[in-house]
Amino acid sequence: MDIKQLRFFLEVCKELSFSRASEKLHISQPALSKTIHQLEEEIGLRLLDRSTRHLFVTKEGEIIRQHARKVLRSAEDLWHEAEEIKLHKKGSFTFGLPPVIGSSFFPEIIADFRRFYPEAGMRIVEEGAKIMEQSLLEGNIDVGVAILPVDEEQFEIRQIIDRKILAVTSADHPLAGCESIQMRDLKHESFLMFQQGFALYDRVFESCIQAGFEPGILYESSQWDFLFESAIAGLGVALLPETVVHKADTRNVSVLAVDDDLLHWRLALIWRKQSYQTQAAQAWIAFVEEAFA
CATH of 90-293, one of 3.80.10.10, 3.40.190.290, 3.30.70.20, 1.10.10.10: 3.40.190.290
Residue-range domain boundaries for the chain: 3-86, 90-293
pLDDT, residue 158, reads: 96
Q: What is the rounded CA–CA span in Å between residue 168 and residue 85?
A: 52
CB 217, CB 239: distance < 8 Å: no
Domains 3-86 and 90-293 share a fold: no
**Per-residue confidence (pLDDT) for residue 248, from 0 to 100:** 81
Q: Tell me the fold of 3-86.
A: Arc Repressor Mutant, subunit A (1.10.10)
Looking at residue 148, its amino acid is L
CA 197 vs. chain centroid, Å, equals: 9
What local confidence, expressed as pLDDT, does residue 88 receive? 45
From first to last of the 293 residues of the chain, give the pLDDT tens digit: 888 999 999 999 999 999 899 999 999 999 999 999 999 999 999 999 988 788 989 999 999 999 999 999 888 888 877 776 655 456 789 999 987 776 667 889 999 999 988 888 899 998 877 788 999 999 999 999 988 889 999 999 999 988 889 999 999 999 998 888 999 999 999 999 998 878 889 889 999 999 999 999 999 998 888 999 999 999 999 999 888 888 787 788 999 999 888 888 889 999 999 998 988 899 999 999 999 98
